[in-house]
Structure 1
Amino acid sequence: MTDRPGDHPTGAEQSSSPESPGSPYLPDELAEQDGVGVPDPFLRLWTPHRMAYIAGENKPTSTEAGSGCPFCRIPTLSDADGLITARADAAYAVLNLYPYNPGHLMVVPYRHVADYTELTPAEVGDVARLTQQAMEAVRIVSSAHGFNIGMNQGVIAGAGIAAHLHQHVVPRWGGDTNFMPVIGQTKVLPQLLSDTRALLAKSWPTD
């Protein structure tokens, strides 16, 4: 979302002290933190959860199947804990833990297989059907204008977890690539993943 005139408080609306709780300059938990420096008019987006992604904390160290592979482990969890939005016989749909956009889903076969050509006809069918359903659910929940759909095959092609195939379903809206990701390398996600999962699961179409 881009800023518009009037989006930020001015004049009397900014009468509270920058050092006081409720300051428009600092989050309450930082308002009285020692050493925060001189207050300024900039708002900060604190995203410490992304350090796990930056540091590669959740990236498997082995290419083998099992609990060390996130995509093998996720189906053993409850839907809510695993952020799963739907399950089919041979594949499942799950929210991306580090989404590009709100509602960024992945469709994953249960079987630990790396290459698309190794999927069985049943797996191909479930991956395709879940992809269609993901698009329908996201359109219902957030009126996506379009989608990027695809899979990165191999590390050289950009796959973060190359050993277990997964297809991305990324919703897109007009203007969603603004100055934040282009200049600041930051995506602004306005909704908790647990809330997104609940909305999509509720709106998921049935066969």
Structure 2
Amino acid sequence: MDEPVRQSGAGSPDAFERLWTPHRMAYILGENKPSGPGDEGCPFCEIPQRSDEDGLVVTRGKYAYVVLNLYPYNPGHLMVCPYRHVADYPDLTGEETLEVGELTKQAMTALRTASGAHGFNIGINQGPVAGAGIAAHLHQHVVPRWSGDTNFMPVIGRTKVLPQLLRDTRELLAGAWPAD
């Protein structure tokens, strides 16, 4: 049986399969990034105004909340965000700092319970030069990792495969969230 001829992105036939991820264009084009001065248009200020399901909020605290990343590095990629629109970690109050830390610990527990995460990348990208996509509103990433989770797809194909819809992931993690 002959191999089918496929069209390359430039229109020339080649033997490569294509994985299309059109949802990534929103991230590439900067959709959902603040567009105005101060906190105007800030998604991290708008998310808490939505229902947990619509905002993909996993849990809420007094000073901060936990939300699924719309553009995750791995399944279950969470962000811990203070409610207050603040850009720099030293500008957090003591209460905000403590709650961001406690929610991070709880996120790790929930991810281990719900998905058996083997490890984590945890960090804050401070400023655009450090990789912050939305530098105006501080947020800490909690990225679950598993042995062997880096395979040819992200390394060679520069593509992540997510096995679950974000709403299903939010529901799973909210159900696994540790009680206070």
Alignment TM-score, normalising by the size of structure 1: 0.78
Residue 46 of structure 1: CA displacement?
Answer: 2.8
Q: Is the 8 A contact 2:32 2:42 kept in 1?
A: no
Alignment partner, residue 50 of structure 1: 24
How far apart in 1 are the matches of 2:43 and 2:119?
28
Identical amino acids, percent of aligned pairs: 71
Residue 163 of structure 2 is aligned to residue 187 of structure 1: no
Q: 1:60 aligns with which of 34, 39, 55?
A: 34
1:106 to 1:159, Cα distance in 2 relative to 1, 3 A? same
Matches within 5 A, 1:1-207: 44-66=18-40, 68-207=41-180
Q: State the 1:127 CA deviation.
A: 0.3
Q: Output the CA distance in 1 between the equivalents of 2:107 and 2:17.
A: 34
Return 5+ residue gaps in structure 2 as ranges: 5-10
Shift of 1:45: 2.8
1:44 to partner: Cα distance: 4.1
* Structure 2 counterpart of 1:28: none
Q: Which structure has the larger Rg?
A: 1
Runs of 4+ in 1 over 2 A off after TM superposition: 42-46
Q: Partner letter of residue 180 of structure 1?
A: M
Aligned residues: 172
- CA separation in 2, counterparts of 1:158 and 1:101? 17
Q: For 2:37 and 2:18, how far apart are their aligned partners in 1?
A: 38
Matched position secondary structure for 2:23: helix
Distance 2:171 2:21 in 1: 22
**For the residues of structure 2 that align with 1:195 and 1:44, how far apart are their CA atoms?**
26
TM-score, length-scaled by structure 2: 0.89
Higher relative contact order (CA 8 A, sep 6+): 2
Q: Which amino acid aligns with 1:172?
A: R
8 Å CA contact 1:105–1:168 kept in 2: the answer is yes
Deviation at 1:37, TM superposition (A): 10
What is the deviation of 1:122? 0.8
Gaps of 5+ in 1: 1-10, 12-17, 19-35
